Each structure stands twice: as structure tokens, then as C-alpha cells.
Structure 1
Amino acid sequence: MSRNDGFETMTQPPLLSILAAFCVLTAAGLPAPGSHAEEPPPFESIEALGAALFSDPNLSRNRTQTCATCHDPGVAFTDPRGTKAGLAVSLGDDGVSLGDRNTPTAAYAGFAPPFHLTEEGFYVGGQFLDGREPDLAGQAGGPPLNPIEMGMTGKDRVVRRLQENSGYVAAFKKFYGEDIFSKPERAYEAMTESIAAFEMTPLFAPFDSKYDRFLRGETALSDQEELGRLLFFSQQFTNCNLCHQLRRSPVAADETFSNYRYHNIGIPENAAVRELNGSAPDFVDRGLLDNPAVDNPAQGGKFKVPTLRNVAVTPPYMHNGVFRELRTAVLFYNKYNSKSAERQVNPETGKPWRAPEVPENLALEELTHGPALDDRRIDAIVAFLKTLTDKRYEHLLEE
């Protein structure tokens, strides 16, 4: 990792094809090349160990769920499993529990800076939609112990599961010391560090989308995509780049399309999810204000700006998955700038956009920046967003 403009930048070592194959195969429940179920191969790196842990169902209570279950490498590290709530939220290891927030992609997650408060008074970075974990290792340690996710009841129990695997035992001792298992807390941390190391490999951030290839002069954008690109980075005609641009230059090779700040953009609750997951009638998702490090009421309803990398193939949208289509999400932003009666209607419901779950603290300065957009420009922005799809997921655009 190196520093640039105060943000972490992922280094780009050569992508190990063996590591990529290991991830894909283990995520599918298959042994890695040359391995035998009864005698796991030695792990040559912490990243390879992390890849195995990422796809290991034994780290969940009922041995049915892995990190890759909700962050499937085949679908841009999101959850492809349908539930009674559609794809809006994920199902837990117990086969019953449903979350309240949409599972964000793990792709490009390593670029988020550690959670912190800037001198200007903005909260930035961290992991999860409310930044409650400062880094990738912290995030990796959350789901195994979450009762509605992987459901393990303590770090010591997770560590005992690790010790059932002789390959893990050898690797943990090799990379973290012979006495690593004498301290369950430290062994658990070592597990999360290994998963985080795997998530920092180029497998999660290849920067090979059509947009990236365009920047390198390897392909051309269509007229519609180019119009969308110009609109996206415009300081005058849209508000997109106010939140979804990290680097100062619109041609930065490592642009992740998020400034990692927190905003309340007025998203309504997902009533269908709330009806299914057993939330109390008066429950309100307060976003950033639910972060233990934040106690300022002015932060209520704010969520971290997500990356737009792979956004076109990772529906549904917003922190609670309330919108099914990418075009709907773009139209939602446009409603703040338009006086047209048509633009005040959610095309997915045919009814007016519902009120924000948290009506306070709306980011009106950002949301009302720029003029209303016509259909031609809306479609151009959607077309540009599709160009941010990693090459290996481009087939999903057609599906």
C-alpha cells in the first residue's frame, strides 16, 4: 500500500493465475488444482491462505456459508442468491435470517482509506456502509460472528474450526508463529489479516473495464458512452462526480468512482425487506450514526458513497436494495433537479418517490447541483456506467 492524496492506493503485483483459479474453484466447492481433499496442499503465501479462508464454509455455524457466498467472485463479489426479498438483502447461515442492508461488492474495497474524521469535519472511509470497521481485516472479522450472517458464537469457536484443518494449522504457524493458536484472539486476527491480504490482490481490482481500456488507448467508446463520460465528469451538467470521483483527474488510471465520504441522499426504507426480516415497526436505519465512533445526530441517515466499479452488474441499488434497475437509481438523483411531474414518479412502482427514511441531514447542496437531465442524457450516463464493468463480468451486461 502506498499513500496518494491521503488515500490508500493498491499496488498491482502480477496476478497469480494459480491464486485466481484457487479462488474460483474453491468458491464453487471444488478442490484447487493438484490438491487432494484428505491432504490439503501447503499454502505458499498469506494471500493463498486468505483465498482458502474466503471460501471455507466451516467458518460458519452450520458449515453452509462462506465469505464467497455473499461476495461471489462469479458476480463481481456480490450475493447472487435470491430470497423472498429478491436480491435486496442476504440470507444467513441459519437459512432463515435476512439482513437489512444490501451486501456491497468486495471488489475494489481495499481502496477505501481507514475510517477517520477529516480536518474539514467529514467522515471518510472505513468498511461496511457505516464505516464501523476501519479496514479490510476488521470487516473480515465481522460476518463470522454476526448471528444473522455466519452465526459463530465466539472467536474461540472459529479458531477451533480452523484447527480442524491441518493445512491451516501449518500455514498459521508458518506465517504467524508457532504459538499462534495459544492465543485465540490473535489467531482470529491472523485469520482476518489473511482474508484481507487476499482481498488486496488484483483479482479484486483488475482495472480492465472498457473504460480502463479506453484510457489506455486500447478501445473506443461509443458516441453514447462518450456523452455519458463527459456528463459524468462535468462540473456543470451533473452532480455525479461530486461524490463518485476520488482522483482529481478524470483520466486517473486508478479511479474507483467514490470519494468514500458519507451522505444522506434521501433513500426511502425498503418496506418489503422490513416486512420479512422482523424489524420492529419503529426501526430506523441511522447509517453512520450507528457507527460506535460517531455520536453526532447530524450524521444520521448518511451512508458511505459506494464504488461505481461493476455497478451495472451488481443490482439492486442503494444501501437497502430498494431500486431494482440502474436507470431508476440515476432517475432518483435527477428528481432533485427536475420540476417535471414525470420525474417525480418511480418508474418501478408507477407511484411518486417515497419519503426518505431519515428526512434530516439531506445532502441538498450536492443533490441539487446541476440542471435536470432529459432521457438522452440519462441513458448516456447509464451507458457510461456500464463501461465500468470489469472485463470478466462483461457477459453479465447481456444477461
Structure 2
Amino acid sequence: MKRRPFLLILLPACALAAGGLAVLDSGRAADAGKPFPSVEALGEALFHDPNLSKNRSQSCATCHNPDFAFVDPRETEAGLAVSLGDDGRSLGDRNAPSAAYARFSPPFHRDAEGRYVGGQFLDGREPGLAGQAGGPPLNPIEMGMADKDSVVARLRENPRYVEAFKSFYGGNVFSETDAAYKAMTQSIAAFEETPVFAPFDSKYDRFLRGEAELSDQEELGRLLFFSQQFTNCNLCHQLRTSAIDPQETFSNYQYHNIGIPKNAAVRRLNGSAEDFIDHGLLQNPAVDDPAEDGKFKVPSLRNVAVTGPYMHNGVFKDLRTAVLFYNKYNSKSAKRQINPETGDTWGDPEVPQNLSLEELTHGPALDDKRIDALVAFLKTLTDQRYEHLLTEP
């Protein structure tokens, strides 16, 4: 039997042009004589411009590819776990998170209970999208530019950029490096705030609007996911109070240490010191409390089925493995203590203290039927334009 939603909710459609992206016109500087019709359109050009990297080989879109749900589809010696830098050699240590739906992460702050929430990057070190956009060009193992002056010089090579920057940000925008660099990051952020990055048109969204039906397995997964009794999923991966909110992003943007093991293969390849530890939130300059050691921001589950590998270091290749990892905390079964990808026991936590055991141990152990149902439901969170990736190798 197929399930239909019990509430009809209408959402505006996202504007997507055939064969490419099309940002919505904000109405700013929209006359046809301008080099870009809007700040968003300027940001789109900057997002795709490899000239903003040292060797002119890497853009924002390289690691956040719009054709692959805004993650990095490039295979490296480490598989897809981490990204290759502009120099063609450097490998990072963290998996590049999807830029889709990133605009919904609130500014980095502490909530009423004193918990850290929001921000950009996996450790929240930038409060918003503009700050995040300014990081990769200057990162020596990413886009590799020497400094902001070097980036601004590249911007000035393009007459269309110069004209647009002056039009949108004032005639003196290039008189100070910081002003021009900030204008660049604000433009990219404006592009990332368009519906191109957050269309809310997955099968799940269409189900809420009465436009699609869930299979029995998907419906079971949905009920389990939002259950307060049978799973712990929604303790961290539900933002809205209603299970049928049309703009649920499937993250509360808090920080947790869930006991992820090191990605030993990545560490061997990227030259990390043998005793190197990724301290997560504690590496955010604004955080110095040892109680935050090893915590990472809860990611959105939008497009999760097509944005693997999983966890902050890409240590798990398969979505089902990630679900099984959570279930190991609730199960006494010897089978559930084995990582199916390695055939060995789950690795020890990289940071063994500060584990979110209250959340991790909430609810009973799940059998294979319920594990598979959760995975099936998570696949329904895939944006419509990426649904073909669910069936491709």
C-alpha cells in the first residue's frame, strides 16, 4: 500500500535553466547593459572561476560541483574521502561538505543552554557564508593563493568583474584590498543563498505536497526517523518542531562527538604526523573549552544519499554503513560491532572523551529491515536534479 501525506503544503518552484544553473534575479542592477544582471549572477561567475586559484586550475565549484550535489566528485588516491588541492598533490584531512542548503546554518553562537550552534565549516570557524567563501582561496592545500592582494589582482584582470564590483559595491571598492576581497565573498554568498542551492524538490518534499507517494519501505523509514521512541535520528537531524515542515533541513546545527575513528588511509597519504588529532570544534579559534574536543557540526541530511563518503573525514563509503555505525551504540549483537566495509571491529574514536552518549544510546537496536527502511527514507531527501545519481555507480 502506498502512503500519501496528510497535509498539503505548497512551495515555490526553483528556477533551473536547462543545461546549467540560473540564479533568480534579485532586481539589483538588472538592466541589460551591466556585465552581470545581479550580485547573485556575479557570485555565480566567481564560484566557477578557476583563475582565483594559484595555478588557475581550481574554483569553488571544483570541490562543490553543482552537478554532484555540491560535493567533490574527483577520485584521488584516497578515493572520495578528501579533496585534491590546486597544486595537484596536496590532500586535505576533512571531507568537503556539500554547499547545498548551507545558507540555513545560523551564525555561530551559543544557545540558551550554552551549546555551540551554527557557523560554516565543520568546526563553525566562520559565522556565515561570506566568511566561508573567503577561506579556500587562501588555504595553501586548497586554492593556494598567497594572500588577498594576489586574489584581488586576479579579479582586476577581468574587466567585467571590475565594472560589476564598482557597480554593486561602489567606485572605490578596489582602493582597499580588504574591501574588494569582502565584495568577492559577499557576491559568492549571495549566489549560495539562491534557490539553486536549496530547491526543496526531493521526493520527500513532493510527498509533503501530495505530488509523490512513498513506498512501504520509505514510509517505514520516515516513521522511524521522526520517532522519539524507536530511533535517535531526529535528536540531532531535525530542526523544525513539525515532522511535516516544508523547509526541514535535517540538522539542528549543534556539535557532537559521535566517536568517529581516524581515516588511517587518508592520514598515510596526506602526510599528517602520526600523532595528529583532528579536535573538531576545539580547533575553532573562538572555542577553548576542552569539553568541546572532538565535536563536529551536525550536517544536513539533504542529498545525503548522493554525497558520500560519510563523516567529517570520509571514513565510511556507504550510507548504510553510516547508519549501522550509529546502531552499534544500541546493539549488543556481535554482528553490529563489525564494520561491514572492513570486516573488522569499528575503529576506536579519534577523540574518546566528550562522546554524546545520551543521544547515541537513545532508542532500541534496529534489525536489518529497519536499517534498510531508514536508508530508503534518506534516499528520498535527494533533490530532483540529482535523483539519477541514486542509480548510477
Identify the residue that residue 27 of structure 1 maps to in structure 2.
none
CA contact (8 A) 1:313 1:397 kept: yes
The CA RMSD measured in Å over matched residues stands at 1.5
CA contact (8 A) 1:117 1:123 kept: yes
The letter for the 1-side match of 2:293 is G
Q: Compared with structure 1, are the counterparts of its residues 44 and 13 closer, same or farther at alpha carbon in structure 2 (3 Å cutoff)?
A: farther
**In the aligned structure 1, how far is the partner of 2:384 from the partner of 2:13?**
17
**In the aligned structure 1, how far is the partner of 2:226 from the partner of 2:71?**
27
Q: Which has the higher contact order (CA 8 A, sep 6+)?
A: 2
Secondary structure of the equivalent of 1:315? coil
Identify the residue that residue 98 of structure 2 maps to in structure 1.
105
What is the deviation of 1:42? 1.1
The number of residues matched between the two structures is: 373
Secondary structure of the equivalent of 1:340? coil
**In the aligned structure 2, how far is the partner of 1:82 from the partner of 1:227?**
34
Select 1:305's aligned residue among 281, 284, 298.
Answer: 298
Identify the residue that residue 247 of structure 2 maps to in structure 1.
254
How do 1:278-293 residues align onto structure 2 when only pairs under 5 Å count? 278-293=271-286
CA contact (8 A) 1:13 1:202 kept: no
Runs of 4+ in 1 over 2 A off after TM superposition: 12-24
Identify the residue that residue 267 of structure 2 maps to in structure 1.
274
Select 2:59's aligned residue among 44, 58, 66.
Answer: 66
Instruction: Say whether residues 1:331 and 2:330 are aligned partners.
Output: no
Segments of structure 2 that go 5 or more residues without pairing to the other structure are 1-10, 24-32
**In the aligned structure 2, how far is the partner of 1:259 from the partner of 1:229?**
18
The letter for the 2-side match of 1:387 is T
Identify the residue that residue 26 of structure 2 maps to in structure 1.
none
What is the deviation of 1:13? 7.6
Identify the residue that residue 315 of structure 2 maps to in structure 1.
322
Select 1:213's aligned residue among 206, 210, 214.
Answer: 206
Q: Compared with structure 1, are the counterparts of its residues 190 and 391 closer, same or farther at alpha carbon in structure 2 (3 Å cutoff)?
A: same
What's the % identity of the aligned pairs? Answer: 76
Identify the residue that residue 184 of structure 1 maps to in structure 2.
177
Segments of structure 1 that go 5 or more residues without pairing to the other structure are 1-11, 25-39
What is the deviation of 1:119? 2.1
Select 1:151's aligned residue among 144, 150, 161.
Answer: 144
How do 1:3-22 residues align onto structure 2 when only pairs under 5 Å count? 15-17=14-16, 21-22=20-21
Instruction: Say whether residues 1:164 and 2:163 are aligned partners.
Output: no
1:135-159: per-residue Cα shift (whole Å, max 9, x none)?
Answer: 0000000000000000001101100
Instruction: Say whether residues 1:90 and 2:83 are aligned partners.
Output: yes
Q: Compared with structure 1, are the counterparts of its residues 63 and 23 closer, same or farther at alpha carbon in structure 2 (3 Å cutoff)?
A: farther
Identify the residue that residue 222 of structure 1 maps to in structure 2.
215
- Normalised by the length of structure 2, the TM-score is 0.93
**In the aligned structure 1, how far is the partner of 2:332 from the partner of 2:284?**
36
CA contact (8 A) 2:125 2:286 kept: yes
1:270-307: per-residue Cα shift (whole Å, max 9, x none)?
Answer: 00000000101110000000000000000000000000
What is the deviation of 1:23? 6.4
